[in-house]
Structure 1
Amino acid sequence: MPFIRRHGHIALALYICFVFVQSLFFKFTNSPETVYIFQGKLDPWAASLGFPGLFAPGGLFSAHVIGSAELVASILLLTGSFVARWRVLQGLGALLGLAIISGAICFHLFTPLGVQVVNSDGTKDGGELFALACGVWACCTALLFLHRSRLRQWLPPARNA
């Protein structure tokens, strides 16, 4: 049990990094799955709400922008995992990861994307991408809980009103 207490945060960070980093190939090479998600489902949905181009290449939430944020989160998580004096970086990486993955989960649940994403061969993924996102969300939340005291130090002191 002491081993888990001392090193469990590394396992959580490694899972998050595994999911984020393995998705970078798809996001940065404009794979058919990524094009389907961002340009085929999310961008038309955003356009119907009056925000055309939001998920298109060059858009505020394009695959490259999201992938870059996932890469930054992964670097923070790994640096904080293996450099003890910079442990707060792991908490900041978890915070960024939670923001990214919360958006992804909301887009799966509340847009035409859905929980089951269509693969490049036309088959559905059975909810695998959504399940991975839920796992990342749980790991980010656990890391934030573990680093709550370190992160609290970065907040401004509360003022009495």
Structure 2
Amino acid sequence: MKNPTFIWIIKLIAVIILVQTLFFKFTGAEESVYIFTKLGIEPFGRIGSGVVELIASILILIPRTTLLGALLGLGTMAGAIFSHIFVLGIDVQNDGGTLFALAVITLLCCLILVYNQKHKIPDLLRLKF
């Protein structure tokens, strides 16, 4: 997967999904507050996950740090998906599973980015960017 256009499209999909949720998390939108209250981590979990998603988005867009951002996004989306499966349910407040689907799409995009950058994993482990 060395097609740079494809990789940029994948990056943009992940970043757009991550960034569009920030408004709801940072403004305390009713659905976000409901989700994090049900998880028992409101407001710190809501704001903290927003900060992590913002950092992941920035890192994904910077070519030297794409792997780090994708790993951060991967972990965050894995947490979101597990929260949906085990606590929240797929359909949250009658959203038709939209939030769950967006988490899965973002996770898949991050997986593709990690796979594309897998040759950089040894450098990441040695803390070389």
> Is the structural similarity TM-score above 0.5?
yes
User: What amino acid maps onto 2:56 in structure 1?
Assistant: A
Give the Å deviation of 1:126: 0.5
Which among 87, 90, 103 is matched to residue 133 of structure 1? 103
Which among 51, 61, 83 is matched to residue 78 of structure 1? 61
User: What amino acid maps onto 1:57 in structure 2?
Assistant: P
Match of 2:50 in 1: 67
Greater C-alpha radius of gyration: 1
User: What amino acid maps onto 1:8 in structure 2?
Assistant: F
Equivalence map 1:7-156=2 (5 Å) = 7-39=5-37, 41-43=38-40, 55-58=41-44, 62-80=45-63, 86=64, 89-111=65-87, 113-118=88-93, 124-156=94-126
| In structure 1, C-alpha distance between the alignment counterparts of 2:67 and 2:7, rounded to whole Å | 10
Q: Which has the higher helix share?
A: 2
Give the Å deviation of 1:143: 0.6
SS in 2 for 1:115: coil
Give the Å deviation of 1:56: 2.0
| In structure 2, C-alpha distance between the alignment counterparts of 1:18 and 1:38, rounded to whole Å | 21
Between the aligned residues of both structures, percent identity stands at 41
| In structure 1, C-alpha distance between the alignment counterparts of 2:85 and 2:116, rounded to whole Å | 28
Match of 1:121 in 2: none
User: Which stretches in structure 2 are left out of the alignment for 5+ residues?
Assistant: none
Q: How well do the aligned residues superpose, as a CA RMSD in angstroms? A: 1.5
Give the Å deviation of 1:139: 0.6
User: What amino acid maps onto 1:42 in structure 2?
Assistant: L
| In structure 2, C-alpha distance between the alignment counterparts of 1:32 and 1:56, rounded to whole Å | 12
Match of 1:49 in 2: none
Total equivalences in the alignment? 126
| In structure 2, C-alpha distance between the alignment counterparts of 1:38 and 1:138, rounded to whole Å | 23
Q: What TM-score, normalized to structure 1? A: 0.74
Give the Å deviation of 1:42: 1.1
Q: What TM-score, normalized to structure 2? A: 0.92
